[in-house]
Amino acid sequence: MSKNKEILLITNYFPPEKGAAPNRMHSLATELGKNGYNVWVACPLPNYPTGKVFKNYRNKFMVTETEDFGKVFRLWVWPSNSANKIIRLISMVSFSLSLIFFFLLKRLPKKVFIQYSPIFVGYTGVFLSKLFSKRIILNVSDLWPLAGKEMGILNDGFYYSQLLKIEKYCYKNSHLIVGQSEEILEHISKFDAPDNLFLYRNIPNFKPKFPKDEIIKGEMKIVYAGLLGVAQGIYQICKKINFSENVTFHIYGSGPEASQIEALKKEYIYFHGEVERAVLHEVLQEYHLAFIPLTNRIYGSVPSKIFEYSRLGLPILYMAGGEGEDLVRENQLGWTVPVNDFKKLQQFTDALTPEMFQHYPKSGIQKKAMDVFNFDTQFTQFVRVLDAV
């Protein structure tokens, strides 16, 4: 195999962990393997979102696994999902230390694809790759530290200014930057960054069933499936919005707010816990409307659920603002509500009728998604750019 067809992926999240980030990186590794690449993955021992290393990986410093695409190196980490910033920082630094030993002890591929978020992991990957004269491909899915500031996690000051320096360093020393939204690429272009920028949306790669269009009679079921954290705000929505027997709200997932949501016991809100992704895709067919909220409009953020839900044929209720809202509107994938506007959300649920869904048949939603958000077309273009790095 040509040395040019070998690549290392550095990521903080990878299956058996669940969620958009692990799924995205696994899909990337699998498709690169199908396109002739020998792929190495360096990731922490699985611990997300529980903050505890999964049972089969405990008390180990490194686990090496063989996959169809290549190898996965699971490195030691001190895991935590604590809300304490210092503890979370220590957890990220622990994986960074493991990466240092990994680079020192292994003869690694020339090309290195680095998941920029978390920012300290991204920085460590870029610094080590530069030190060892690698070709650096930086994958930017969130604009840190800006995203942290918009979510209220970070404030102006010395710490924030140091994070800005790290951000600039990562952009400046990359040979190709892959961004998940137009806003991300626009932001990066303002820095001393390479001209080599590529839009790579988080389009999932799976074959969905053809959905059945139906005439809704009676209950209209809204569903949320994903991380139950502060940024998504599902607990606040459950407390503030009153649903009815005609419009019910169903929740799937896990995360910091899961226990609060489960304990709420509010009428017409149903918490189903976490299920496997393949099972979830089957279950989602039973629902009429997929809900995508964020507590704050985050510049650069385009939730991957837009692409996944629409691929399944579900119309979308979008309450997160930004470029994602534009995509939902421009492609007529459903309805939008201003971010964090609970009054407008209540008005929407109160006014929802079966007739409104006739404008968004599931078959039409799926066809549009398959045409506009085409994984194969995007990936073919990406491989062409990657080969040239």
pLDDT over 90 (residue 1):
no
- pLDDT, one tens digit per residue, over 328-382 is 999 999 999 999 999 999 999 999 999 999 999 999 999 999 999 999 999 999 9
Q: What is the mean pLDDT of the chain?
A: 93
- pLDDT, one tens digit per residue, over 111-131 is 999 999 889 999 999 999 999
Domain coordinates of the chain in residue numbers? Answer: 3-203+374-387, 220-372
Alpha helices in 106-240 (DSSP H): 119-131, 146-150, 158-172, 182-188, 234-240
CATH for 220-372, options being 3.30.470.10, 3.40.50.2000, 1.20.1070.10, 3.10.129.10: 3.40.50.2000
Distances (CA, A) of 230 to 59, 278, 320, 324, 374: 31, 26, 13, 19, 31
- pLDDT, one tens digit per residue, over 15-67 is 999 877 898 999 999 999 999 999 999 999 999 878 899 999 999 999 999 99
What is the predicted pLDDT for the residue at 69?
97
Torsions phi, psi of 181, nearest 5?
A: -155, 160
Q: How far apart are CA 235 and CA 36, in angstroms?
A: 45
- pLDDT, one tens digit per residue, over 259-290 is 999 999 899 999 999 998 889 999 999 999 99
What is the predicted pLDDT for the residue at 369?
95
**Do the first three CATH levels of 3-203+374-387 and 220-372 match, i.e. the same topology?**
yes
- β-partners of residue 317 are 291, 335
pTM of the full structure: 0.87
Fold exhibited by the domain 3-203+374-387: Rossmann fold (3.40.50)
What is the predicted pLDDT for the residue at 332?
95
Distances (CA, A) of 85 to 148, 154, 156: 12, 10, 15
